[in-house]
Amino acid sequence: MCDNLLGTLLNVDKKTRDDVNVRKALEEVGIKPHLWLQPHPGRDPFMPPAPYSMSLEEKERFLKVLQKLRAPNGYGSNISRCVNLIQRKLLNLKSHDNHVLMQDILPVALRASHATEVIDILSDLCSFFKYVCSPTLGVNELEHVQSRLILTLCELEKEFPPTFFTVMVHLIIHLVDEVKLGGPVHYRWMYPIER
C-alpha cells in the first residue's frame, strides 16, 4: 500500500498508478473529465495535474522533510538515507519503514510540505493504520473504525484513478476482521523479534 501510494504521489516510473494510458482509459470510460488528456497542436497531449500529484517543488519539499527527519533509535531505519533528491524518489525502503511511514511520518511530512490536495484523505487512511497497529484496541470501536475506513476508501476512489486500487488496497478493508480474530497486530509482528 505504501509503495503504491508513494509511487503515485511522487510519480515514480514503474510504480505510479497514473500515466498517459490511464488518462486515455478514463476518457474512454467517460469518468473524471478533469483528468483527461488535453490536446496541444504540434506537441504531445498535455496531462493535467491531478489533485494527488505533486509539482517538482512540492516533491523536493516533501523529500527534504523526510531527509531532515530525526527519529529515536530503533524507531525505523534511517529513512533520510533512502531519500534521493536528484531522482526525486525514495529508494530501498524496508517493510518496517513502510509501516512507520504510513502510521506516523507520511501525514506529518505531507502537511509540513503542503505537498498535495488530498492530505486530509491520506491522513484518515494513515490514522486507520495507526489505530489498527496500536498495542491496545477497543473492541467496541472496531465497527466505527471500519465504517470510517470504508468512507475513506470511497473518498480515495473519487480522487485517485481506478488503477490505483490494486489488490493490496482492497485488502485493507479486511484488516479490522483480522484484528477481531487475532487481537492487536502489534503482538503478532516480526519486528520486535528481529531486533
CB contact set of 108 (below 8 Å; sequence gap of 6+): 65
Summarised one tens digit per residue, pLDDT across range 47-75 is 888 888 888 899 999 999 999 988 887 77
Whether the pLDDT of residue 195 is over 60: the answer is no
Give the Cα separation of 40 and 177 in Å (integer): 49
> Whose grid coordinates read 534511517?
78
Residue 153 is predicted with a pLDDT of 95
Give the Cα separation of 40 and 106 in Å (integer): 36
What is the arithmetic mean of pLDDT over 172-187?
A: 85
Q: What percent of the chain has pLDDT over 90?
A: 27
Domain that includes residue 15, residue range: 2-194
> Whose grid coordinates read 494527488?
52
Number of C-beta neighbours around residue 70 at 10 A = 8
What is the arithmetic mean of pLDDT over 16-32?
A: 87
When mean pLDDT is compared across 22-26, 71-75, 189-193, the lowest value belongs to 189-193
Residue 62 is predicted with a pLDDT of 92
Number of structural domains (the chain) is: 1
Confidence (pTM): 0.85
The burial of 10, by beta-carbon neighbours within 10 Å (0-12 exposed, 13-18 middle, 19 or more buried), is given as: buried
Q: Which amino acid is present at 33?
A: P
